[in-house]
Amino acid sequence: MTEAPLSIVTGGGAGIGRAICQTLARAGDRVLVVDLAAERAEETVALIRADGGDAAAATLDITDEAAVAALIDGAGPIRRLVNNAGIFDVKPFDALTADDFRRMYEVNLVAMAALCQRAAAKMERGSAIVNIASRAMLGAKQYIHYATSKAAVGGFTRSLALELAERGITVNAVAPGVIETDMLRARSDTNLDGLRAMQPGGTLGTPEDIAEAVAFLASDKARFVTGQVLLVDGGRSLGGSLGI
């Protein structure tokens, strides 16, 4: 029997990352759920196994290069890498320091790049990398340090797609809009009704909306799609009659 393909998902312990893990598992992948918090990763694994899927958990600080190397080197053949782990906080521009920018870039870009480099070295033709960007890359108030780090993810994705094209590895990104997660609800600046009012369809996204987009870009159905940043935001980025 042929072994199921291995998908590695960082930040898989909750929210969007958990939904991605579950969706890939339902598609038949073995999923390595990677998270900074061991308990969260194990919870995701338990949910996948209860649903009949195959998963294992790994605890990892993605900024720890030695730990990243050990994880990737010990994982066996990798078919898909989903870089979902990242950090976010709200802070007005006047209060930002250079270290705030450095911290965002170290986690949201530099650590992700190192993971891609290590994983790509083990990937065969037909493999896929999917990065999680953000609609904030188009511009956002109160977290410019985050928005610029995610804009960098978009540029990195397009450039890496060119680097890996000859190897037959696709590289794409999904840029979520406002997704209703526990993290969003806990934010100090969250007004869910106000956010819904700014959406063309009047609704917010779900983690599953992002997971389905990721699963498509990671699948063989998207073999001719690479270097793309897919906005999954319910049309909010269109502006239109809302004037936003």
Q: Are 104 and 90 in contact (CB under 8 A)?
A: no
Over the stretch 161-203, which tens digit does the pLDDT of each residue have?
999 999 999 999 999 987 776 666 555 566 666 666 566 656 7
> Which tokens is 149 given?
């780090």
> Which residues fall within 8 angstroms of residue 215, CB to CB, at 6 or more apart?
20, 23, 24, 27
Active site residue 143: no
Catalytic residue among 23, 78, 144, 146: 146
**CATH number of the domain within which 76 lies:** 3.40.50.720
Indicate the pLDDT class of residue 236, thresholds 50, 70 and 90: confident
Residue 23 lies inside a defined structural domain of this protein: yes
244 within some domain: no
Summary mean pLDDT of the chain: 91
CB burial class (10 A; 0-12, 13-18, 19+) of residue 22?
buried
Contact 120, 69 (CB under 8 A): no
Q: Which of 136, 155, 156 is nearest to 147 (CA)?
A: 136
Of 146, 121, 124, which Cα lies nearest the Cα of 135? 146
In this structure, is residue 60 part of a structural domain? yes
Looking at the domain assignment, is residue 1 inside a domain?
A: no
Q: Tens digits of per-residue pLDDT, 116-169?
A: 999 999 999 999 999 999 999 999 999 999 999 999 999 999 999 999 999 999
Q: Is the pLDDT of residue 106 over 70?
A: yes
Q: Which of 60-64, 74-78, 159-163, 186-190 has the lowest mean pLDDT?
A: 186-190
Q: How many domains does the chain have?
A: 1
- The answer to the question of residue 242 being in a domain is no
How many whole angstroms from its chain centre is CA 14? 12
Q: What is the pTM of this model?
A: 0.92
